[in-house]
Structure 1
């Protein structure tokens, strides 16, 4: 899911960062420039891994900005084809299901082609449309929004977002920009889809017992607190 990528770049340090140690100022500016950014055909940069080499800083004429050539390594999110990942269903449409991993939302499962067969777009009692796996006429398994799911990476799509041409004065332009990095996924193999579908009976009982113990523990703690307060009175 994560890879280490070596990058060489010119990092600029502004006078406001001169009070920091040199290494810290370089690290902060690398993260500011790269973290949460997509490098075309490389992946989504997560954070700096380490700094390999730096040059001497050169101060720009009239600006006070220090320019440093830096070789460094970044932690990059780029899962491989066939990898199984976990996320939450973000939304559902007649085209498919969008999944989020918290830090990355551009994961799409085309439907019904990449879901269990037969899959249908179903209207729930709450008026929401969700995809449903119909294992039998009376047995419907729902891909509910916010449900934790496992999915398989099938393909990746890169879009080069070059600077757009500025519209002429008074010209109306429809604004639509694709994500620079998108993942196409599937949920049509055993073990994929909502995690609770594949939970063993023993695991379900253990989960329920854990919830009951947590609730009981909370009640006991509340009770002890009341007793202490009563004694104090």
Structure 2
């Protein structure tokens, strides 16, 4: 889920930060620039990890800003394909279910990655929701705020930096196929394998299985007593 990446950059230390130790000033600059931002085809930057090297500082003319060439490592969020992660259902619509990991919101599960057959229909309260109708008969609901286990299937990248787009194409309000604003990094996940989906489904199943085993054990014990 998390990985370390090595980057190089020029750190600018302003005069107001001269009272800080050099390493601390560099770390603060890197965190301010990169933390909680997406680097294209790298991932979501979580924070500074370690400083590998730093050059002598060069003072800019007139500004007093010190420029330092640095090599450093960042902690990056980028789960691999096939990884099982936990997330919460934040909302859903006819195009899919949208998940939240608190610090990362761009996780979507399209209908083709649900348990089959699943349908977009009204629940008992008249609210639109995705419902899985299993072969055994009961219906299972993908309720909002449910904690789920999901499997990473794909990554979707959009380079939204202004220099990568023509002025006429630069529109932050443009919607994608899910009815959302385009995201620089989105995870497409699935809930179509045993053990995936709302955790409550499987907890209830495990409890039912445990109850059946206990009942079987109790019956066996009584038979032994009678035979004795």
TM-score range, shorter chain: 0.7 to 0.9
Matches within 5 A, 1:197-208: 197-199=201-203, 200-201=206-207
The alignment's C-alpha RMSD in Å is 2.1
Distance, in Å, in 2 between the alignment partners of 1:202 and 1:117 is 23
The answer to whether structure 1 residue 194 and structure 2 residue 193 are counterparts is no
The answer to whether structure 1 residue 184 and structure 2 residue 182 are counterparts is no
Which sits farther off after the overlay, 12-21 or 191-200? Answer: 12-21
SS in structure 2 of the partner of residue 50 of structure 1 = strand
Aligned to 2:173: 175
1:181–1:174: structure 2 CA closer, same or farther, 3 Å change rule?
Answer: closer
Aligned to 2:81: 81
> 1:130: how far off?
1.2
Distance, in Å, in 2 between the alignment partners of 1:102 and 1:174 is 23
SS in structure 1 of the partner of residue 33 of structure 2 = helix
SS in structure 2 of the partner of residue 150 of structure 1 = strand
Aligned to 1:131: 130
Aligned to 2:153: 154
User: Structure 1: any 5+ residue segments left out of the alignment?
Assistant: 168-172, 206-233
Aligned to 2:96: 96
User: Structure 2: any 5+ residue segments left out of the alignment?
Assistant: 175-180, 212-228
SS in structure 2 of the partner of residue 197 of structure 1 = helix
TM-score (norm 1): 0.80
Aligned to 1:145: 144
> 1:203: how far off?
10
> 1:124: how far off?
2.3
SS in structure 2 of the partner of residue 12 of structure 1 = strand
Distance, in Å, in 2 between the alignment partners of 1:19 and 1:98 is 46
Distance, in Å, in 2 between the alignment partners of 1:121 and 1:15 is 58
Distance, in Å, in 2 between the alignment partners of 1:36 and 1:182 is 14
> 1:162: how far off?
2.8
TM-score (norm 2): 0.81
Aligned to 1:64: 64
Aligned to 2:216: none
**Off by >2 Å, runs of 4+ in structure 1:** 124-128, 164-167, 173-177, 202-205
1:134–1:25: structure 2 CA closer, same or farther, 3 Å change rule?
Answer: same
The answer to whether structure 1 residue 6 and structure 2 residue 1 are counterparts is no
Distance, in Å, in 2 between the alignment partners of 1:101 and 1:40 is 20
Distance, in Å, in 2 between the alignment partners of 1:34 and 1:57 is 21
CA contact (8 A) 2:172 2:182 kept: no
Aligned residue pairs total 199
Distance, in Å, in 1 between the alignment partners of 2:156 and 2:89 is 20
